[in-house]
C-alpha cells in the first residue's frame, strides 16, 4: 500500500487512486467513468472514504445524465464484488430465479415458487419488504403465524435440495454495497433511474448463483416506472447485464395500471395465493403466475412441461405447505382478520373504465399495510379487496372495495385515497403481458 506523509504525530493514511470530486464533475457533464473508477467509487463509499453527500451528488448526476452499458456493467460488478457469491450448481435440479420490479397486489411469488418446486425446479427466491405503495413479499408471509424470513445459507440450501423452493430475506453477505447505496438513494430521490435500478437488482441476482433468471418488469400507474418505454429500457438493460455475466435472462413486460387480483395487503394476499394453489383464484393472478412459470421452465430445460395441472392436482399446494412448515410457519393457522371494515359503494350507474393501481396501493398503505420508513411495523390484517375490474358494469350502491384495518383512525385516510381510484367510461383493451425481452 502506498502511503503519504501524515501530519506530525498522526498516523499515515493511504493514498486513494481517484478524486471523487473529479468523478462527480465528469458525470455531471455526461462524461463516462472507467471500470477502475467505478470499482473504486463503490468500494470507497462502502469503506466510508467517499462521504454520503458526495455519493448523493454522483447518484443525482447519474439520474440526470444516465450511464452507458459498460458503466452499468462495471457498477453491477463492483456491487457484486462487495460481498459473497452463492452457488446452487450441486442441488441436483436446475436453479432458476424470478424477480418482479414490484406492484400493487403482485403476489405471484407466493404461488409461483411452490409451483416450480413441485415440477422439479429449484427456486432460490430472495425477497424484500414493502416501502410506500407497493407491498413486500416478506411482509405478506410474516402474516402466517410462526413463519420466519431469516435463514442461513445452509438452511436455504437444504430447503432447495429437499423441497425445491425457498422464499427468504437476503443474507447480509450478499451485495452489502447495494444495501448502503439503496438506503442513500431512498432518501435522496434517486431511486427511479434505470442504471441504478438495474444494477441494484442484477447485482443480487447474479451473486445469488442461479442458472437462469426471469424478470417481471411492471409498467403502469402502480409501477415504479409508469411509462412502458421506461419499463422496456429497464428490461433491456437487465437482460443485457444478465447476458454479459453469463446468466440466461428473460423479461416479461406486464401491466400494473390496475391491481393484480382482488387482494391488496398482506394476510389477504396470502389467502388469495392459497386460492391459486388450490386451483382457483382471480384469472389475472393465475395467468401471470403460469406465464412466469412457463418462462422459468423453459430456462430450466423443461419447456415441454405444462405447469397448469400442478395447480389443480395438489402438487403445488403440497410444496407450499412444506415450504411454510420448514420456515417455522403453520400452514393451517388462521390468518389475521381486521377489526374494522368498511365497504366503498358506487355513487352512480356505469362502466368501470379503470381501477387506478397507485390509488389502491396508497389506500392500503394508509390503512397500515405498508410502511413509511424501513423498520416500521405493518398491520398484517390491513388491506383492500378490489371487487370490480375494468369493463365491469355496476349499479349505484354496488360494492367497489372492501377496506380493512385494525386502527379505526386509519380508515378515513385510506378511504380518501380510494376516492380517486375509479374512472368511469369505456374500458380500453390492455393485455396483461405486453411484451417479452430476450438476449
CB 323 within 8 A of CB 159: yes
Catalytic residue among 178, 240, 244, 379: 178
Catalytic residue among 98, 133, 185, 366: 185
Is-catalytic flag, 200? yes
Catalytic residue among 57, 100, 199, 200: 200
Distance in angstroms (rounded) separating the CA atoms of residues 416 and 261: 22
Catalytic residue among 98, 204, 236, 366: 204
Q: Cell 392436482, residue? A: 313
What are the φ and ψ backbone dihedral angles of 53, each rounded to 5 degrees? -65, -40
b/e code 139-176 from CB counts within 10 Å (16+ = b): bbbbbbeebebebeeeebbebbeebbbbbbbbbeebbb
CA 410 vs CA 209, 368, 384, 405: distances in Å: 43, 7, 13, 7
Distance in angstroms (rounded) separating the CA atoms of residues 324 and 146: 9
421 three-class SS = coil
Is-catalytic flag, 133? no
Q: Cell 366503498, residue? A: 344
Is-catalytic flag, 27? no
What are the φ and ψ backbone dihedral angles of 150, each rounded to 5 degrees? -85, 120
What are the φ and ψ backbone dihedral angles of 308, each rounded to 5 degrees? -60, -45
Catalytic residue among 93, 98, 99, 315: 99
Phi-psi region of 98 (alpha: psi -120 to 50; beta: other; left: phi over 0): beta
Is-catalytic flag, 26? no
Is-catalytic flag, 99? yes
DSSP characters over 206-254 = HHHT-SEEEEEEEESTTSSS-SHHHHHHHHHHHHHHHHHTT--EEEEEE
Instruction: Cite the active site residues.
Output: 99, 178, 185, 200, 204
Amino acid at each position: 500500500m502506498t502511503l503519504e506523509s501524515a501530519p506530525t504525530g498522526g498516523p499515515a493514511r493511504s493514498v486513494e487512486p481517484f478524486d471523487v470530486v473529479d468523478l462527480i464533475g465528469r458525470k455531471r457533464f455526461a462524461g463516462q467513468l472507467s471500470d477502475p473508477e467505478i470499482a473504486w467509487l463503490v468500494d470507497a463509499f462502502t469503506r466510508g472514504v467517499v462521504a454520503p453527500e458526495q455519493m448523493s451528488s454522483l447518484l443525482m448526476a447519474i439520474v440526470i445524465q444516465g450511464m452507458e452499458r459498460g458503466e452499468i456493467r462495471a457498477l453491477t460488478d463492483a456491487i457484486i464484488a462487495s460481498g459473497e457469491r452463492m452457488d446452487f450448481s450441486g442441488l441436483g435440479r436446475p436453479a432458476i430465479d424470478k424477480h418482479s420490479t414490484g406492484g400493487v397486489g403482485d403476489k405471484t411469488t407466493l404461488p409461483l415458487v411452490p409451483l416450480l418446486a413441485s415440477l422439479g425446479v429449484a427456486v432460490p427466491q430472495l425477497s424484500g419488504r414493502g416501502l410506500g405503495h407497493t407491498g413486500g413479499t416478506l411482509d405478506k408471509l410474516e402474516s402466517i403465524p410462526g413463519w420466519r424470513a431469516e435463514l442461513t445459507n445452509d438452511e436455504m440450501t437444504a430447503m432447495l435440495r429437499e423441497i425445491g423452493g425457498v422464499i427468504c430475506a437476503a443474507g447480509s453477505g450478499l451485495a452489502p454495497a447495494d444495501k448502503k447505496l439503496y438506503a442513500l438513494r431512498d432518501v435522496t430521490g434517486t431511486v427511479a433511474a434505470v442504471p441504478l435500478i438495474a444494477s441494484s437488482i442484477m447485482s443480487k441476482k447474479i451473486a445469488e448463483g442461479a442458472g437462469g433468471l426471469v424478470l417481471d418488469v411492471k409498467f403502469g400507474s402502480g409501477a415504479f416506472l409508469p411509462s412502458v418505454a421506461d419499463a422496456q429500457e429497464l428490461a433491456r438493460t437487465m437482460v443485457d447485464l444478465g447476458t454479459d455475466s453469463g446468466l440466461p435472462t428473460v423479461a416479461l413486460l406486464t401491466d400494473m395500471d390496475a391491481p393484480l387480483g382482488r387482494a391488496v395487503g398482506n394476510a389477504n394476499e396470502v389467502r388469495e395465493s392459497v386460492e391459486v394453489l388450490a386451483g382457483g383464484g382471480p384469472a389475472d393472478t393465475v395467468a401471470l403466475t403460469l406465464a412466469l412459470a412457463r418462462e422459468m421452465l423453459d430456462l430450466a430445460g423443461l419447456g415441454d412441461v405444462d405447469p397448469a395441472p400442478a395447480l389443480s392436482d395438489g402438487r403445488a399446494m403440497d410444496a407450499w405447505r412444506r415450504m411454510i412448515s420448514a420456515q417455522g410457519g403453520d400452514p393451517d393457522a388462521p390468518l389475521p382478520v381486521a377489526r374494522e371494515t368498511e365497504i366503498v359503494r358506487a355513487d352512480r350507474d356505469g362502466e368501470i373504465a379503470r381501477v387506478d393501481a397507485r390509488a389502491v396501493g396508497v389506500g392500503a398503505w394508509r390503512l397500515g399495510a405498508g410502511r413509511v420508513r424501513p423498520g416500521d411495523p405493518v398491520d398484517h390484517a390491513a388491506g383492500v379487496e378490489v371487487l370490480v375490474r375494468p369493463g365491469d358494469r355496476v349499479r349505484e350502491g354496488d360494492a367497489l372495495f372492501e377496506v380493512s384495518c385494525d386502527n379505526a383512525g386509519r380508515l378515513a385516510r385510506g378511504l380518501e385515497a380510494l376516492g380517486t381510484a375509479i374512472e368511469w367510461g369505456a374500458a380500453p383493451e390492455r393485455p396483461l403481458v405486453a411484451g417479452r425481452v430476450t438476449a
